[in-house]
Structure 1
Amino acid sequence: MTDSSTHTTQDKSTKRGRPPAQARLAAILDRLNQGGSVSVAEFAQEFGVSDMTVRRDLAELEGKGLLERVHGGAVSLQHGPLTVIDDVEPVFEARRRLNSDAKSRIAQAAVRLIADHQTLAFDLGTTVLAGARALISSEPAPGLRIFTNSLRVAQLTAAASVQTYVPGGLIQPGEMSVTGQAAVENFTRYYFDAALIGASGLTPDGVFDYSPEEAAMKSVYIQRSSCRILMIDSSKFRRISTVRVADLAQISIMVTDAAPPPELAQALEEANVSILIA
């Protein structure tokens, strides 16, 4: 009787294509242990279960002291940086696929913020590239000018007949970016209404990124823009990387997909950073 009942339960689970609860719990903890965050909506879609089921899973793990629930998902309970990212940046395509739904929502929200601006700077990264796609889809206003050291962004905006400027300098093939002293000096001459900035990590100590060369261009955008919009998904919270790009106080608005953990939220509030959750 017991074996028959067990097989029946397993068969039903297999037919539905839904992993059992213990498998879901293990997957959630594995994601957090890798330094990421958990999104209720994304996990529900991935496992083919309801949002309520995922919330119950998170509540169970929180009750065991294994994670901290935040708006729309959960983060690790560990205080301080979840991990120190090494010097090797993941390849672009792998980053593009990671948290793609969250990045799309962030992009749509960021584009609404810049609807009335005429001179925009676009940084590097997959979330900023998603912002460029969202901008083109929104039928940008005539007279818009884009400044970017991302050749991927430049290709999109130029193909949509948006006036696009790129600096001279050294092309980094993996990121398809233009970097170097010549690029920095070129864009230092300009001022921008707003800049869309990407990053690999965010802690109470500031904004972080992998490459010193690319960080130098981020600094130009931050220094020369009236409004600095940080586009960052919640998997980057409490993470640091090679280069500290900016203080929190240098960011005007952070657009993200989930509420930051308490100590980071407090630091952002003290730095007068507005938070927009997409």
Structure 2
Amino acid sequence: MTDSLTQTKQDTAASPEARRGRTLAQARLAAILDRLNQGGSVSVAEIARDFAVSDMTVRRDLAELEAQGLLERVHGGAVSLQHGPLTVIDDVEPVFEARRRLNSEAKARIAEAAARLVAGDQTLALDLGTTVLAGARALMAAEPVPGRRIFTNSLRVAQLAAAAALQTYVPGGLVHPSEMSVTGQSAIEDFSRYYFDAALIGASGLTPDGVFDYSPEESAMKSVYFQRASRRILMLDSSKFRRISTVRVADLARISVLVTDAAPPPELAQALEAAEVAILIA
């Protein structure tokens, strides 16, 4: 009670400018927590831009929230604080367009970085998902590679690649309209005949136990990419750290490079290091 009374007196005595500054700061802190609840991560640059404040101000905000035990700071931003048992994400995958809008700026940076990693590769496998689709767009915008071949079970990616006049291969199988994906045993058998220089792979979660995704059918195709590619490049924004879903696709040792937008939290970072996974922060 005494603390509240003291704060009330201080607020009353403060100038209008100081009170307005505190109100804006409180709104900013609330917005940061709201974004963490929605997407699992925030970046310093995005908060600074949206609230017209300096990066230093945002870092002070994040430090204050971390001191209250409400988040965990990472390189370039913060992630949700998740202690104790991991919670399974909803079994029903969010619709494609909703996922595409979520963390779109981070996904664009991840896409550009991943495209640079495979710039000289001729035989590429591209998985499903909004981040991989962004990677496909970045690849098509880059310097053409003579003789490049694209293998994908994403009809969205296939459309982009074919429009760029690349040799484009899709497997036979069942088409899922919402994801515009091709899955099924025949699709798995089709692509299991090939080897790829590199694969760009998406997922819904990453923990020390491995890579996770929603759909058993789509996860089976991801497993093919992990098994048949010389380099397995996992494209994952930091909101998916320490999150699990319906299917465990692969263990960490199957990942060659993790391309993400923020440093993984300590426990996950240690597990990735032990599995000899290279980490590229876009």
Whichever of the two has the greater Rg, that structure is 2
Q: 1:49 aligns with which of 53, 60, 69?
A: 53
TM-score by length of 2: 0.91
| Offset at residue 65 of structure 1 (A) | 2.3
1:226 counterpart = 2:230: yes
Aligned residue in 2 for 1:16? none
Work out whether residues 39 and 103 of structure 2, in 8 Å CA contact, stay in contact via their aligned partners in 1. no
Q: Which moved more, 1:220-229 or 1:43-52?
A: 43-52
CA distance in 2, matches of 1:160, 1:80: 47
Work out whether residues 218 and 245 of structure 1, in 8 Å CA contact, stay in contact via their aligned partners in 2. yes
1:208 counterpart = 2:233: no
Aligned residue in 1 for 2:160? 156
CA distance in 2, matches of 1:81, 1:155: 41
Q: Which runs of 5+ in 2 are unaligned?
A: 1-11
Per-residue CA distance 1:203-239 (angstroms, 9 max, x = gap): 0000000000000000001100000000000000011
Identity of aligned residues (%): 81
Q: Which moved more, 1:24-33 or 1:168-177?
A: 24-33
Q: 1:112 aligns with which of 116, 131, 139?
A: 116
Provide the secondary structure at the position in 2 that maps to 1:272. Answer: coil
Q: Name the CA shift for 1:74/1:8 in 2 (closer, same or farther; >3 Å).
A: closer
Work out whether residues 81 and 239 of structure 1, in 8 Å CA contact, stay in contact via their aligned partners in 2. no
Provide the secondary structure at the position in 1 that maps to 2:46. Answer: helix
CA distance in 2, matches of 1:239, 1:259: 15
1:182 counterpart = 2:186: yes
Work out whether residues 40 and 79 of structure 2, in 8 Å CA contact, stay in contact via their aligned partners in 1. yes
Instruction: Trace 1:75-224 onto structure 2 (pairs within 5 A).
Output: 75-79=79-83, 83-224=87-228
CA distance in 1, matches of 2:251, 2:18: 57
- How many positions carry a matched residue from both structures? 271
Q: Name the CA shift for 1:129/1:35 in 2 (closer, same or farther; >3 Å).
A: closer
Cα root mean square deviation, aligned: 2.0
CA distance in 2, matches of 1:211, 1:177: 11
Q: Which moved more, 1:101-110 or 1:81-90?
A: 81-90
Q: Which runs of 5+ in 1 are unaligned?
A: 14-18
What is the letter of the counterpart of residue 202 of structure 1?
L
Provide the secondary structure at the position in 2 that maps to 1:239. Answer: coil
